[in-house]
Structure formats: C-alpha cells, structure tokens
Amino acid sequence: MYRIAPSILSANFAKLGEEITNVVDSGADIIHFDVMDNHYVPNLTIGPLVCEAIRPLTNAMIDVHLMVEPVDRIVPDFAKAGANIISFHPEASGHIDRTIGLIKEQDCLAGLVFNPATPLHYLDHVLDKLDLILIMSVNPGFGGQKFIPEALNKLKAVRKRIDESGKNIMLEIDGGVKVDNIAEIARAGADTFVAGSAIYHAGKDNDPHRYDTIVSALRAELDKV
C-alpha cells in the first residue's frame, strides 16, 4: 500500500486551508508539514499554531517533519496541535531514545529522519521503537531541489532492515519526488512519498481540481511497480 504525502511547504500560504482541502480531495493520503527553525536548517517555516489551524480541515494524518534543534521542547506542542506523526533528525536531539519516547508518550507515531550523509547506524538500537523512517533525498531546508540518487541505495538498505525486523514501519522518502522517478523510488522500497513542488506547483492556480491530474499521475506510476 502506497501513500502520497504532499508537502505544504510548496502550497500557497495565502490560502493554505483550501490548498489542503483540495489536495486531500484529489486523493492525497497524508499532509506533510515541514517545520524549520533557521538554526538546524537555514529556513524558517510554520509551527504548532498553523498545525492547530489546519487540523479541523481534514481527517488525513498530519505528518510533522521537525527540522529544529533542540527537538524535545516543541514535541508536546505539536501533539496538542493535532499532529499524528512526529519525525526528527538524530543530529538535532541530544538523546534520541528519549525523544522517541516523548513522542510516543504524546500518543503520536514516531519517525527518525536521515539526511543524505547521515549514516543508518542510528537505527541500530531504536528501530523497533519507530513507526516511520524518513530518508531525505535532498539536504533539508528548501523545496524544489533535485533528487539525490544515492537515496535509492539507502532506501534498499532500510527496506531490508525493516523487513528483517518484522515490524510495521513506514518508509518515507522526501525531496525531489516527481512523476518520472516515483516508480523507481517505490522499487527501492519506499511506501510513503512526500512531494512538495511536484504537486503544489502543478496545474492552474484558479482550478479547484488542479491537483487531480498530478496525484493520479503519481498513482499511475505506482500502479506499474
């Protein structure tokens, strides 16, 4: 089962509510919510207040990708704001196991995120506590970057580890996902696909059904896998 997770980083923030409703109506499964702090990454985006504001608009899971340092202080705020999944970067947490525990105590699913150059050894002792592993196929901080092909090898390695563990862990890819590479990414083992610019920059701005075509095109590619 494949899940498409539009990243609202590339949405039109002047009409964010509509942008979320429209993308879910077009068949998106998950709302990917990028949180940047101008410290861990060189960009600044949205926080718990925005999460709380969009929560009533959809039953889709809100997948909060924290690109912030430190991590722990902000976790309960996102849980209260209605996040379903909270993911963080191991380099941004002083105590990775503690942060995972904190997320789960808040009744959220916990994800660990790997930058392009971050080694997978962070999984060694916590894999069975995770609900999601997110492989970055760009360096975090901005939408619209080019997919880094080495991420495919990383996905294969993580897929193997998840399968060997026998656990039900989502394997998500984030960065540069497009119609022309999503099938190859799925073959490498991903089951959850973040797509920001590919979805939100598609179609005509005044068309309420603008996302139907792109979400169907992504699904059609996944059907071929």
Query: Helix or strand or coil: residue 88?
Result: strand
- Residue 10 or 84: the one with the smaller Cβ distance to ligand DX5 is 10
**Active-site residue 97, yes or no?**
no
Indicate whether 194 belongs to the interface with ligand DX5 (CB under 6 A).
Answer: yes
Q: Which does 75 bind (CB under 5 to 8 A by kind): Zn ion, ligand DX5, none?
A: none
| Distances, alpha carbon 216 to alpha carbons 34, 79, 166, 195, 222, in Å | 23, 31, 31, 13, 10
* 174 belongs to the catalytic site: yes
| Other CB atoms within 10 A of residue 49 CB | 9
Binding partner selected for residue 143 from Zn ion, ligand DX5, none, CB under the kind-specific 5 to 8 Å limit: ligand DX5
Q: Which of 47, 90, 111, 143 binds ligand DX5 (CB under 6 A)?
A: 143
Which of 37, 63, 174, 191 is an active site residue?
A: 174
CA-CA distance, 84 to 189, in Å (whole number)?
A: 23
In angstroms, the CA 146 to CA 91 distance is 23
Chain centroid, CA 210 distance in Å: 22
Q: Which two tokens stand for residue 177?
A: 């996902």
Choice among 25, 34, 97, 107 that is catalytic = 34
Q: Cβ closer to ligand DX5: 33 or 122?
A: 33
Q: Does 65 bind Zn ion (CB under 5 A)?
A: yes
Q: Are 86 and 111 in contact (CB under 8 A)?
A: yes
3-state helix, strand, coil in the chain (%, to 5): 40, 20, 40
Q: In whole angstroms, how close is the CB of 188 to ligand DX5 at the nearest point?
A: 17
- Out of 54, 68, 138, 214, the residue judged to bind ligand DX5 by CB under 6 A: 138
Query: By CB under 5 A, how many residues form the interface with Zn ion?
Result: 3
Q: Which residues bind ligand DX5 (CB under 6 A)?
A: 7, 9-10, 32, 34, 65, 138, 140-141, 143-145, 174-177, 194-198
